[in-house]
A = this chain, B = another copy of it.
């Protein structure tokens, strides 16, 4: 059986074990919580007793946190199977008490208007599963918040097979959403002078254009590049999300050119355009808690301050859903779209031919892709491509479609090598964001429009 915990918690476990070695207290050390690695049935009782003791907080809140620390450390020592059992115990036994909620509902319903707010607050507390309190207790551990983030990552990987874990996953998400409020995050520039420990994480987490080596990374942090990340104060060596920016002249239309280590360093004093060519979320356990829009806008502000001569802020973005969409769309439906009949004729099992060196196909693909970006919809009317949806939600314009802009294996596979520039026209982004979210309006540059109407 593949070990889900190793996928997500492996490194963290080693790391936290080191950090937590000294973090547990005099008291906890004395009455150590001893559990077998697989968490045998006998241990289950020990464990539940320990958790109950934590939740009762009989020895005071400080002691409860110490007990939780011991519990957290014990969790790290469990096998995958043992951790799964631990999670199932949390999910099954520390859920909301329905009878208490019914009583709270009655109180609320009978409360006078003046007492309603208090009754509402009490009902809210009754609706919260008791395990939430336990999860909160972990937070005082050094990097306990990272423990919770990774625990959620672990459950996200397990929840399809073990749907009974879903409510627990939801609890973690609620907790983390509050603690990762964007107002609590810190924007930091990442440089070659930054800690190797942090830089190593960029190499590990870069999701769009993989970082091949430390030299590749150094090149991305050169004087004509910028990299910014959000950090949480309690996870100072863990970027949450980061963006890579190139300072260039005009819209960049090829990502390999941007990443070429042998290319000369640009003169940033002459740069007029900032190209956001990669945004990566670094923490799977924060899935669904979004910072990307804030990051882009905070970085735009930083760049405006440092380089007043910049006149354009744009992305060079992949089209991750394109070939998947070609494959999923019925051939006859495809054939009805602009450029669609030529493309459809070239597909084998819904897949494009290996070589795209065919002028007619190229023109048709550009036209069809423009349609995909500008018109194709998901249910609910949002843009079919998730990246398109992200940038339109943020108020960007679809500015330019670039042929053979990403010649990497992945680029060819996902999007036939094409990439898009989304343009952030600052004075208009709020209005555009609003128009897109209100009625799905997508703003297109005049150049891009002409592609559509060919």
Q: Is the interface of A mostly helix, strand, loop or mixed?
A: helix
Partner of A139, one of B27, B184, B196, B394: B184
Whether the pair A183, B140 counts as a contact (CB closer than 8 A) is: yes
CA of A204 to CA of B401, assembled, Å? 43
Judged by a CB distance under 8 angstroms, whether A387 is at the interface is: no
* Residues in B whose Cβ lies below 8 Å from that of A237: 193
Whether the pair A117, B166 counts as a contact (CB closer than 8 A) is: yes
- Min CB distance A369 to B, Å, is 26
- Stoichiometry (number of copies): 4
Whether the pair B98, A116 counts as a contact (CB closer than 8 A) is: yes
* Residues in B whose Cβ lies below 8 Å from that of A95: 117
Whether the pair A395, B121 counts as a contact (CB closer than 8 A) is: no
Judged by a CB distance under 8 angstroms, whether A101 is at the interface is: yes
- Min CB distance A77 to B, Å, is 17
Judged by a CB distance under 8 angstroms, whether A452 is at the interface is: no
Partner of A194, one of B117, B170, B196, B214: B196
* Residues in B whose Cβ lies below 8 Å from that of A63: 395, 429-430, 433-434
Question: Which residue of the partner chain B has the closest CB to A128?
Answer: B124
Mark out the residues of chain A between 284 and 311 whose CB falls within 8 Å of any chain B CB in the assembled complex: 290, 293-294, 297, 301
Partner of A193, one of B96, B197, B218: B197
Judged by a CB distance under 8 angstroms, whether A181 is at the interface is: yes
The stretch of A4-12, A54-62, A79-87, A153-161 that contacts the partner chain: A54-62
Q: Using an 8 Å CB-CB cutoff, how does the interface string of A93-122 with B read, 1 for contact, 0 for none?
A: 001101001100100110000001110110
* Residues in B whose Cβ lies below 8 Å from that of A60: 293, 393-395, 430, 433-434, 437
* Residues in B whose Cβ lies below 8 Å from that of A167: 117-118
Whether the pair A193, B193 counts as a contact (CB closer than 8 A) is: no
CA of A280 to CA of B417, assembled, Å? 48
Question: Which residue of the partner chain B has the closest CB to A167?
Answer: B117
CA of A25 to CA of B300, assembled, Å? 12
- Knowing A58-B438, A194-B195, A197-B192 are in contact, say whether A179-B178 is a contact too (CB < 8 A): yes
* Residues in B whose Cβ lies below 8 Å from that of A192: 195-197
Q: Using an 8 Å CB-CB cutoff, how does the interface string of A146-174 with B read, 1 for contact, 0 for none?
A: 00000000000000000000110010001
Judged by a CB distance under 8 angstroms, whether A199 is at the interface is: yes
- By Cβ-Cβ distance, the 9 closest A-B pairs, closest first, are A139-B183, A117-B167, A233-B233, A59-B430, A140-B183, A60-B433, A59-B434, A63-B430, A58-B434
Name 6 extra pairs, CB < 8 A, besides A62-B293, A136-B181, A183-B234.
A27-B427, A60-B394, A61-B293, A65-B182, A117-B129, A193-B196
A-B contacts, 20 of them at CB < 8 A, read A58-B434, A59-B434, A59-B437, A60-B395, A60-B437, A62-B294, A63-B395, A63-B430, A101-B120, A105-B105, A123-B123, A124-B124, A124-B127, A139-B184, A178-B178, A192-B196, A193-B195, A195-B196, A196-B199, A214-B214
